[in-house]
Structure 1
């Protein structure tokens, strides 16, 4: 908007009156035409620039402007956007106007750059602008102003900007619009210009939003999927989206918010009983949704029991509760591997491995945090001396140093739990090669998460998954999974 709008309206009326009285047939400009030009250059345009108060939405690292036959819109937008670097995209015909733009902006050659582009080939604009953008930081916000120039220049710059947003870049498109256009003079009425931001059609058209939401869902990006589903229904004026609720449930599961995820699945199941959501493709998957909801309930029961003031390890012996908890850890690890967060995935798989071993010991009433070896021997129908001999024997077979008396261990870690299970003749523990488990334990100890500086690798994550799968297959756990429900 323009704070000098009212004054400019008066001047515009005078300017238009002078032009109406000018003689169009004269070879030389008439006195009225000269006065009109002087009025525009000395009063109207300076007041237009001075009063133009619009600003861009961010501090942009660069702005790109297509230059047409009138430099005024470029000057207004460049001042309003106020980017660190300003690029003027001109043709051979409009190159001369760049000098005036640079002079009026007064920012110097270090800040303003000119790029000659094709007037009819959008690909040329793409290549030239891409070359400059690749020099910028990937997180730097960028502005584009296709107000001037040929149709090919305008379309090329706008399409490139919107495609850049698909790469995850902050790319905003602006243009100088107006509230009033003088048809007689074929130009905007001075003082009615304003800076308008063009929304990316892919961010506002429901069909596009749904497509991109499903795409994000399939990629495991449930946060982005939920956002896009919700924006789509807002555009359509609808109150609920089953797909958004489902995406939210998986988003919560991915961040270990098990109770909240369970509530979302319960909300979804309720919604699917109501018209018009009975027509949703998710209706045919209600059985799977209910199963996953019950799985989340099992996880909540297990975690509540293990974190209560009066800790109870009995639920840790429950096959179903442990199976669903392992499924949740597997879901979280898979998502992190898919997004390149290998370290987090490795930590989650170590936790899953340890949880399984804790489960096998809990079947014998043994708590690894508060070990009671006498009770363990009673359940296993052995004695402490025999258990100690068997435990040390298993360690020796794996070429590990003997440990002190078992009763002196206040807590039982991963490797100790594994060899204790082998000493007890546990089928699942015996089914896994001891050298593999020892190797995984050593890898953790030498990593940056423990006592060393080695970084987790994709190979380590895969090795953990293989060992865990063998454990689970021989541990007779039910086969459950938090596989994302198909949206079709």
Structure 2
């Protein structure tokens, strides 16, 4: 938009008249006769610059501009974007114009830099701009203006700018467009120029968005996948995106929102029954989706029971429910390991180990949160004295510290639970190395801030996984997995 538009329109009429006269009287003009160039340089161009009020969408750390055969669009966009540092991409043919642009802007050599690029080499543009972009902070907002220059320069800069979005950078592409173009003079009518931001095709074309969504889903970034599937759905004007619902289910599962994950899978199954979705590739996975929904229902039931005071430990006795919760914890742990969030993954696997040991004791009617040793002994047909002696013997064999206060414990930790199960001749507990379990307990203890705050390692995660696998295999639990449904 130009606030001097009306005055410029009048001047444009005069400018065209002068050009026509000069063409008609070529070679006969008097030195005293005002020329079209004089009118443009002294009135039209100054008013165009002064009245150009467009601005970029934000403050930019740097802007990159391709320089063509005219300086006007570069000057207008550079002033409008007002970046902290400006890079002018030019060829040998347009190098002289960079000096004119610098003079027009008057910003000094510290703010304006020039880059010589090949006129027909997009790769050269990529390398040079890449180098400058890599010198900027990752969160720096960058603007690109490919208005001028050769086709290769324009294409190279635009493609590079749009690709930066995939790296998580803020990269906006602008173009100096016009409302009116003078076919006779073969140039935009002065005062009708405006700064237009070009949308990234990857963000507006449904097929591209859908491809990016599938890629995010395959990487396990279910939050981004849901967002992109929804965006593609909105662009196409559809009422639902089955893939977005599925992505949200796994996003919720990863966040331990088990009830919400279950509801999303239930919603997906209902949508797949509608005539409009019966041709979806997801229909061949209905049985698998149903199994995952049922597994999540079991997870909700058990986790609700564990979080409610005074509830019976009966749910902990059910192998199916325990297997489902272990699978959910495994899903969450694996996701965090892939993302390098090792401490969280280790914490989740410790919780899985504790849950399994709680399950084995619950099968004997023993509640680790409210221990009743007399009742445990009665169920196991053993005296309390014999139980304590065997318990201490298991600890001594593993060179663990003696525990003389077993009966006085108000709650049972996983190390105590493990040795207690060995004392009761529990097959899964006996099949696992006691020293390995003690090592895991020690690693957990020193990871606590008060005891040294030694961060968990991938080795901790691997050892936990091996112990869990051995316990589960010996515990006769059904096989349950939360494998993401493949997107064909």
Q: TM-score, normalised by structure 1?
A: 0.95
Could you tell me which runs of 5 or more consecutive residues in structure 1 were left unpaired when the two chains were aligned. none
| Residue number in structure 2 paired with 1:103 | 103
| Residue number in structure 1 paired with 2:487 | 487
Query: Is the contact made by 1:349 and 1:465 (CA closer than 8 Å) also made in structure 2?
Result: yes
Q: Could you tell which deviates more after superposition, 204-213 or 254-263?
A: 204-213
Q: 1:79 to 1:404 in 2, by over 3 A?
A: farther
| Residue number in structure 2 paired with 1:158 | 158
CA distance in 1, matches of 2:436, 2:274: 52
Deviations, residues 61-90 of structure 1 (Å, cap 9, x unaligned): 221111111111111111222222211101
CA distance in 2, matches of 1:38, 1:473: 90
CA distance in 2, matches of 1:214, 1:95: 44
Q: Secondary structure of 1:163's partner?
A: helix
CA distance in 1, matches of 2:267, 2:453: 45
Q: 1:367 to 1:59 in 2, by over 3 A?
A: farther
CA distance in 1, matches of 2:190, 2:119: 28
Q: What aligned pairs does 1:241-260 form with structure 2 within 5 A after superposition? A: 241-260=241-260
Once the 2 structures are TM-superposed, how far is the Cα of residue 331 of structure 1 from its aligned partner? Answer: 0.7
Could you tell me which runs of 5 or more consecutive residues in structure 2 were left unpaired when the two chains were aligned. none
Q: Could you tell which deviates more after superposition, 291-300 or 163-172?
A: 163-172
CA distance in 2, matches of 1:190, 1:433: 83
Q: 1:309 to 1:46 in 2, by over 3 A?
A: farther
Q: What aligned pairs does 1:445-464 form with structure 2 within 5 A after superposition? A: 445-448=445-448, 451-464=451-464
CA distance in 1, matches of 2:103, 2:477: 76
| Residue number in structure 1 paired with 2:416 | 416
Compute the RMSD of aligned alpha carbons: 1.9
Q: 1:72 to 1:312 in 2, by over 3 A?
A: farther
Deviations, residues 424-483 of structure 1 (Å, cap 9, x unaligned): 211111111111111111111122566223222222211111111111111111101100
Deviations, residues 190-245 of structure 1 (Å, cap 9, x unaligned): 22211222222222222222222212111111111112211212221111111111
Query: Aligned residues, how many?
Result: 488
| Residue number in structure 1 paired with 2:215 | 215
Q: 1:448 to 1:140 in 2, by over 3 A?
A: farther
Query: Is the contact made by 1:388 and 1:405 (CA closer than 8 Å) also made in structure 2?
Result: no
Q: Secondary structure of 1:276's partner?
A: helix
Q: Secondary structure of 1:6's partner?
A: helix
CA distance in 2, matches of 1:75, 1:5: 18
Once the 2 structures are TM-superposed, how far is the Cα of residue 31 of structure 1 from its aligned partner? Answer: 6.7
Q: Please tell me whether residue 283 in structure 1 is matched to residue 275 in structure 2.
A: no
Q: Secondary structure of 1:408's partner?
A: coil
CA distance in 1, matches of 2:32, 2:161: 44
Q: What aligned pairs does 1:340-359 form with structure 2 within 5 A after superposition? A: 340-359=340-359
Q: Please tell me whether residue 26 in structure 1 is matched to residue 26 in structure 2.
A: yes
Deviations, residues 289-346 of structure 1 (Å, cap 9, x unaligned): 0111111111111111122243332212221111111111111111111122222211
Once the 2 structures are TM-superposed, how far is the Cα of residue 370 of structure 1 from its aligned partner? Answer: 2.3
Q: Secondary structure of 1:279's partner?
A: coil
Q: Secondary structure of 2:87's partner?
A: strand
Once the 2 structures are TM-superposed, how far is the Cα of residue 30 of structure 1 from its aligned partner? Answer: 5.9
| Residue number in structure 2 paired with 1:93 | 93
CA distance in 1, matches of 2:87, 2:436: 59
| Residue number in structure 1 paired with 2:176 | 176
Deviations, residues 262-290 of structure 1 (Å, cap 9, x unaligned): 11101100000112200001101111101
Q: Please tell me whether residue 430 in structure 1 is matched to residue 430 in structure 2.
A: yes
Deviations, residues 333-377 of structure 1 (Å, cap 9, x unaligned): 111111222222111111111111122122222222222222222
Q: What aligned pairs does 1:112-131 form with structure 2 within 5 A after superposition? A: 112-131=112-131
CA distance in 2, matches of 1:136, 1:386: 70
Q: Secondary structure of 1:86's partner?
A: strand
CA distance in 2, matches of 1:30, 1:185: 23
Q: Please tell me whether residue 313 in structure 1 is matched to residue 313 in structure 2.
A: yes
